[in-house]
A and B are shown apart, each in its own frame.
Chain A
Amino acid sequence: MNVRLLLLLFCFCLLTSRLQATVHTVGAGSNPTAIKTALALAQPKDTILVKSGFYQEGNLIVDKPLTLIGENNPVLDGNKQYEILSVKADSVTIKGFVVQNSGSASLDDPGGIKVYDSNHVVITNNTLYDNFFGIYIQYGKHCLVKNNTLISNGTTDELQIGNGIHCWKSDSILIIGNNVSGHRDGIYFEFVTNSVIWRNISFGNVRYGLHFMFSNNDAYITNVFRNNGAGVAVMYTKNVKMYNNVFEKNWGDAAYGLLLKDISDSHIENNRFIQNTSGIYMEGSNRISIKNNIFGSNGWGMKIQASCMDNAIDANNFTQNTFDVSTNGSLVLNTFAGNYWDKYEGYDLNKDKTGDVPYHPLSLFSVIVEKNPPAMLLYRSFMVTLLDKSEKILPSLTPDNFVDNQPLMRPLPL
């Protein structure tokens, strides 16, 4: 019996020693001094604690489920030559590092932190400076990217810089509370499904603040996309949910608060589109519910191309836009109802809070400008005012089913 008990105890000790992971401390005065050494020494589920310092060790490959923790922001520097951290195992955690100066070859897309075919990877509280790609996840599942700051100084040349948070062919990814600026696209999704992007701020990126394609069943909630080269572009996707985001100050020739291309069965609700060249630009998009949003101080509140159908634009506030809505054709297959338009001049005799006269949000001048953009030159001239007024009284050139039959008298409290 004793022998049995002893054996059991031994086995137990053996087990617990593996369960109780070892902590390897790296840094000046510790042993080892190089992260690479620690990575080689460590067993799966170990923790590597990196002390404050400057580490220039080329490419670090994490191929075991390890927890890497930076203490007082140690700097991992790629010397502008290497991918800095390559994650090639499941359940890796990377926390508290400053990752900077990755290489910038455009062939294999080196990143500050790149995840290869791995699940349950957690990347939190890191700061990434001047990397080609910031955080790159390919074939990842159930990964979490949280509270990281990614800063790069991208120039206008899109090829000189990669994306901030880049995900490709992944599933169930959580991107939360990150701050991305100066990259090509702030956050980039391609073939990423069932994922959530929440409370991120993406600003001052060269191309798009958020860019996704073929990424079905994702949700984008409470993010801020500000002052990006071309705003936000989302394409070829079904079941997108965009709630409570802010799209603002996306100025320029081809800049949009939100560009929707071939998006269907989606919800765009409670967002704020402020001071964009176009708040929403949509083409080839169907069955989208656009509800309870604020469109304020945009050049165009919404540009709805004639290729869109069955979209419902309900209960939004349109204020101080140069043009509330414009379209490029005469076919109207979308509906407007119960929106507030600050340009509405009707009255409400029966006091039901909706105007008694339908509102035609499409002005003649917006149709002219759509056909002939330089006509913008005549904006706010007496002649244009006269044209618009006469068109309002006697609609002849604008489609008459482009109409909100229940325009609100007062803005919605959004």
Chain B
Amino acid sequence: MIVIENLCKQFGKLQALKNVNLTLSAGACIALVGPNGCGKTTLMKSILGMALPDKGTILFDGKDIKNEFAYRSRIGYMPQIGRYPDNMTIKQVIDMIKHLRHYPENQTDKDLITRYQINDLAHKRMSTLSGGTTQKVSAVLAFLFNPDVYILDEPTAGLDPIAAEILKDKIMEEKAKGKLILISSHLLNELDELITELIFMQDGEVLFHKKTDDLRNETGEAKISKTITNMLKKQMS
């Protein structure tokens, strides 16, 4: 579904992405892991067209996304730290995005709104919300329009365990619908039941991109986190 070829991106002296080649297919739930500053967010932003690559191409359904914008209507994006205009209320933000997307109201996925009980908070200003609530709004917006692709940047960071559980359930459901899900996270244990593939990045490079089943088989570990340390050790040696 998304094919990334020779993607390079430099911020000043920092090489954020070095020749990244990836193929992300529909139906996969992919974890993007790696140490801080390894280029996860840059990669996600590149797919969204927020960061513009220096070199290389990103194909979305076979089409280069350069200078395109319509493809983003098929992506639900949840940023690491969602920041919204201070003076707007939750309702206004959600309404605005709905209007901007021109998405039929009756087809929106209000599941998370209900589960997070957002309607009770609808008239609160964004500036008055806690970090967790803000994340809930981000989650709602990402899942509102039944997109084919989810790009979730540290989705559970800042959420309380119950909210995180709700989000995980939602991701499971979407995965079951055969959608492509790209998650970056530090908390690998949380993702154990979710993910089907894993991309490990370091210093802007993809160290490996494997199916989780293959990883488990190769390393003989059940836990994803363990498989990674194992893989890294193997690569070092």
Whether A and B touch directly in their complex, counting CB atoms under 8 A apart, is answered as no
Binding site for B on A (CB under 8 A): none
